[in-house]
Chain A
Amino acid sequence: MHDRDRIGRRVREVLAQVLDVPAKSIDQDFSATSSVAWTSLNHLMLISQLETEFDVVFSNQEIRELTSYTTIVDTLGRRLDSVA
């Protein structure tokens, strides 16, 4: 079982860099609808940076759904568990 807290910290860091928001401000409710910086282009770059950071490839379905902090952490947790 991968440590969700550790995944959460790394996701927060990537989100903070790509979207230029303080890592502290990224909570469970942080999402594309709550952040103006989360544009479609930034979404594309965010996905690609997460793929590099966690060494995974997301499916089309996942890319469409990964629009909040919580879904990103949950999806990564599932993916990393199934690899382990």
Chain B
Amino acid sequence: MTSDHRIDSATLQRIASGVLPNQPWSAYQAAARSLDRIPWESIPEHLRTRVAMLGSFTLDPFVPVLRVEAARVGLWLEPYVAPYGQYVSELLDPNSGLYRFQPHVTFLAIDADVLWNQRWAETQPLKSEPVVGGLLTPLFAGLDVFDRAGSGILVMNDFVLPRLSSEGVNAFRSKGTFAHTVAHANKHLRLRLASRDDTFLFPLSDAVAQVGRAQAFNWRTHYRGHVTWSDPLMRDVAERYVGFALAAMGKATKCIVLDLDNTLWGGVLGEDGPAGIALGPQWPGSEFVDFQRELLDLQRQGILLALCSKNNESEVLAVLREHPSMLIREAHLAAYRINWEDKATNIRALARELNIGLDHMLLIDDSPHERTWVHDQIPELRVPDPPADPSMYAGWVGSLSSLMVLRQTAEDAQRTRQYQESRVREEYRGAVGSMEDFLRGLGLRVAIDHVEDESMSRVVQLLAKTNQFNLTTRRHDEATIRRQIASGAWRVYTMKVADRFGDFGLTGAAILEQEADAWHLESFLLSCRVIGKSVETALLARIAEDARAAGASALSAEFIDSGRNQVASALLPNHGFATSDDGRWHRPLDLPGPEWPAWISPAALHPTGAVLTNSEGHRDA
């Protein structure tokens, strides 16, 4: 492979597909070396994921497993492994290798041995408080430094009792046991990790249970060289870690497209009729109810559900509305295509309607024939193979690593409703003539503010997830933003948008870097939900006005082509910016404008939060 060939996700996936689930660690080692042979410069920036690993045991053999599992989902993983046993000092020292590496994701892998070792330093009777405090106090101090450094997200596992205890049948009565110490440490760990948006608890206990505790740890390699995780546990943990990496890189699944017959219910609606399909409290049918419940758990986190099925629409709608055991109802669906067209065409139409990239969609379909055909037509679509037996569907969907939502905001909870509103809006678009007429008729209202504590997590989420209308695609975490605001270097604007069909929520953001006599657009983005509504002009108008008031003579900006943000490329030329020799775009402020669009009302936030009102204070009709 030569360096002028840019590789893509499919190349990485091909290399990883050479390693099958039942193969030993050495197969991962060999595949990781194949990944090493890809020239660094041929790997596109947006696939390079910097992952740091800190551990209380030897993690080096885990690296090839994680790299191959990352490649399996199309990511190139650049690893950093902290020196053995240095996890606390690496976290505590702001100049450590960890922070210089600037990881997107940091995994902190700690085994319960660290508690065990403390235990033997104690005299009987064992007390859990000093043991837990002795370990967790320096660790939490390290996490504080991590939070301030603003180095992406950190994922730490819970403590797991590694083997059957010999503490006896009366152990449950006592607090002076190792089992109690582990539970006590986990409680404090959970509280600490939950207190920040950028730290996550990884349920290693789940992974161990899934593999089986007797198979999860390799005691021979543990004692010989501190390699504690067995081959199967390494594989299971790597698959789950990869979900965090995907989400941190803005590549998690945003929409699940569901087939119906033998996927959401048993049988074929068109042949068996609504009373004949398998869906209900008893088998056969109860397995599909449980599967639907899992899907709704994902929907509640903000992942969209859509239907794509070869059926008669009226018959399907009748089931959605009237079947007593159906859990997924119309209100849970962002969109659907129920007709006799081919599925690739329908899925492309769903992607257009929802304004979501096909690479952020995942198809669940029981038919191997449909899956193969659709995947051939749309290679970037995620098309996992469900188990052959529907009894396994509910457990399987939880194992899909791309279905991970790191930050759940108020907007997430509302997302399905917003897409339903947008469907009504699109029907209206079809009914009017010119674009300006369309915009005038929308009754757009926009509220622009500086970022506040309540809006911070949404801004971080937008920075992390927005791929299309994003001028520079810079991903910042909360700590970085807070630090830059505090230093006086940045102004962070937020924009909320609503129209007469509904409320889009916080869907725009801009970061301005104040330079000597110009304000520089460090970041500027719109959620895909408000593209094509001219609200970006309103945000730029407000920024220009503030900059003039502050005495700035120009706005400057740059457009960084990420390969996916073409929709943002016209922003600068359309608003009076011109290129200059330094490669940046400039817009002198002695020129008037940009003008606030006449069809957008400046709005203030209603005291209750979500609903936008006119600046006069009364609700728009």
Contact = CB atoms under 8 A, between A and B. Distances in A.
Given A20-B33, A44-B221, A44-B225, A49 B26 contact: yes
Contacts of B9: none
Contact of A17 (B29, B218, B220, B224): B29
Given A20-B33, A57-B220, A14 B225 contact: no
Interface string A72-84: 0000000000000
Contacts of A20: 29-30, 33
B25 A49 contact: yes
Contacts of B281: none
A44 B221 CA distance: 7
A45 B33 contact: no
Contact of A41 (B26, B30, B60, B218): B60
A48 interface: yes
B27 interface: yes
Contacts of B26: 14, 17-18, 45, 49
A45 B30 contact: no
A64 to B, nearest CB: 11
Interface in B218-242: 218, 220-221, 224-225, 227, 231
A17 B27 contact: yes
Interface string B195-226: 00000000000000000000000101100110
A20 B218 CA distance: 23
B443 interface: no
Contacts of A62: none
B24 A41 contact: no
A53 interface: yes
Contacts of A48: 25, 218, 220-221, 227
Interface in A33-47: 40-41, 44-45, 47
A44 B29 contact: no
B49 interface: no
A44 B227 contact: yes
A57 B218 CA distance: 13
A44 B224 contact: yes
Given A17-B29, A18-B26, A20-B33, A45 B227 contact: yes
A25 interface: no
Contact of B61 (A14, A45, A51): A45
A52 interface: yes
Nearest to B227: A44
B399 to A, nearest CB: 24
B58 A52 contact: no
A69 B1 CA distance: 32
Interface in A9-31: 14, 16-18, 20
A44 B225 CA distance: 7
A7 B218 CA distance: 25
Given A20-B33, A45-B29, A52 B225 contact: no
Contacts of A14: 26
A51 B25 CA distance: 12
Contacts of B227: 44-45, 48
Contacts of A47: 224
Nearest to B61: A45
Nearest to B224: A44
Contact of A18 (B29, B60, B220): B29
Contacts of B24: 49, 52-53
Nearest to A48: B221
Contacts of B33: 20
Contacts of A49: 24-26
B609 to A, nearest CB: 55
B68 to A, nearest CB: 13
Nearest to A50: B26
Nearest to B36: A20
A20 B32 CA distance: 10
B224 A63 contact: yes
B465 to A, nearest CB: 38
A52 B23 CA distance: 11
A46 B25 CA distance: 10
Most interface-central of B26, B30, B33 (chain A CB within 10 A): B26
Nearest to A51: B220
A63 B224 CA distance: 10
Contacts of A45: 25-26, 29, 61, 221, 227
Contacts of B225: 40-41, 44
Contacts of A16: 30
Contacts of B29: 17-18, 20, 45
A63 B221 CA distance: 12
A49 B27 CA distance: 10
B449 to A, nearest CB: 54
B214 to A, nearest CB: 15
Nearest to B34: A20
Nearest to B221: A48
Contacts of B60: 41
A49 to B, nearest CB: 5
A55 B85 CA distance: 31
A48 B24 CA distance: 10
A48 B435 CA distance: 68
Nearest to A45: B61
B16 to A, nearest CB: 15
Contacts of B61: 41, 45
A44 B231 CA distance: 13
Interface in B1-54: 24-27, 29-30, 33
A17 B25 CA distance: 9
Contacts of A63: 224
A44 B218 CA distance: 12
A14 to B, nearest CB: 6
Given A48-B25, A52-B231, 7 more contacts: A14-B26, A17-B30, A47-B224, A48-B218, A49-B25, A53-B24, A63-B224
The list of the 4 closest CB pairs from A to B, nearest first, reads A17-B26, A17-B30, A44-B225, A20-B33
24 contacts: A16-B30, A17-B26, A17-B27, A18-B26, A20-B29, A20-B33, A41-B58, A41-B60, A41-B61, A41-B225, A44-B221, A44-B224, A45-B25, A45-B26, A45-B61, A45-B227, A48-B218, A48-B220, A48-B221, A51-B220, A52-B231, A53-B24, A57-B220, A63-B224
Interface of B: 24-27, 29-30, 33, 58, 60-61, 218, 220-221, 224-225, 227, 231
